[in-house]
Structure formats: C-alpha cells, structure tokens
Copies of this chain bind each other. A is one copy, B any other.
Amino acid sequence: MTNPRLFSFIGGMRGPWQVIRQQTMKGDPLPTVSYIDVVSEASRVVAPSDGWILQGVTSNERYVTKEEKTALIPLQPSLGRPEATLAAMIPLSKSGNWWSLTQDERRDIFHRSSHNQVGMKALPAIARRLHHCRDLASMEPFDFVTWFEFAPEDEPVFDDLMAKLRASEEWQFVNRDCEIRMRRSASSPG
C-alpha cells in the first residue's frame, strides 16, 4: 500500500506541464526535460528513459507556529486553480550541517530568515505544496521538492519570493537548488 501523501514528479517527454526554463541555482544540474507530470500515490512509477522521477511526501508542519498557521490557512490557495497556468518546481537539498542542527537551532535560523513572513507576502497569489524526500526508503537526490502554481500576472510575486528566500541566512545551508518553470500545456484539462 502506498502512502496517500506520496507524490511523484516525472520529468520526460509528456505531461500536463510544459517546461519553459530549467535553471541550476546551486549544485549539480538536473537533466533537462520537456514536460513534467505529477502523479499521486504511485510507488512503482518508472522513470522515462530520457528523464527522471523525483518523489516526496507531504508531511506535518516542521517550523510554522500555531499563530503563523492561523494567519496562513485562510490565505492559502489550493493547487489546480484554472487561472494558475504557470507552475514552478524547486527541488532542493540542504547540507549535512543543517541536518545535524537541533530543532531549536534550525527553527531560529528559519525565523531569522523570515521564511514564513516572506511566504505570507506571496499569498493568496502563490499556491504551494511542500514534499519531503529525505526520509524515504530510497535515497533521493533532493531533500525537498516544492511545487508552486500561479497566474501569469503573479509571476513577479513568485520571483520576488524566491529572490528573498535565496538571499536569506537559511539558504546558506542549501547546497543544491534546481528551478523548473512550466506552463500548463494547451492539451491539458482545466
């Protein structure tokens, strides 16, 4: 039985999301692909011969406080909004130094980096889903995959969000950051 919180990101020659741009911000690049398909609850997906699969699970909150969550929830849009025809996928890894920090040390860096406040400013424009890859049974190339969806007119909001996060203290612990920008392909429903 597959974890119902498991998502697979299949990069290859087909899928509802057409890749516009792939950009390696840090670390090794991810091979370029033309389309991305996102499949849920499929543990036995096979990577296309000229592509790749990244997998991750959504999980419980790791840093957000009760107060922040209460403020965030009413503003968070869902994925799949018809007007959100652009998407971005950011697979990233953090260093061993990050993972050997205790929770309070990581939380302090997270809060000093204003991760939540920066994220709040992107609401309700940017829909987001975070997937954890580090604690799967398979060794994954990234620690996280975050998936974002937004309308074309909100692209500057997304650009600003990522620029602020990448300039933060938290990002000093990021050692691989590969960004993929997509548009919903014409043949795709919705």
A residues with a Cβ closer than 8 A to B are 1-6, 43, 55, 57, 59-66, 68-69, 99-105, 107, 132, 134-140
Cβ–Cβ contact B138 & A137, under 8 A: yes
Q: Which of B3, B60, B64, B139 contacts A136 (CB 8 A)?
A: B3
Pairs A–B under 8 Å by Cβ, sample size 29: A1-B138, A1-B139, A2-B137, A2-B138, A3-B136, A3-B139, A5-B135, A6-B137, A43-B137, A43-B138, A55-B137, A57-B137, A59-B134, A59-B135, A60-B99, A60-B103, A61-B102, A61-B103, A62-B103, A64-B103, A65-B103, A66-B104, A66-B105, A68-B102, A69-B102, A103-B103, A103-B107, A135-B135, A136-B137
Known A-B contacts A62-B103, A63-B103, A99-B60; A137 and B137 likewise in contact (beta carbons under 8 Å): yes
Name the residue on B nearest A3 (C-beta): B139
Cβ–Cβ contact B132 & A135, under 8 A: yes
A3 to B55, CA, bound (A): 13
A116 to B94, CA, bound (A): 27
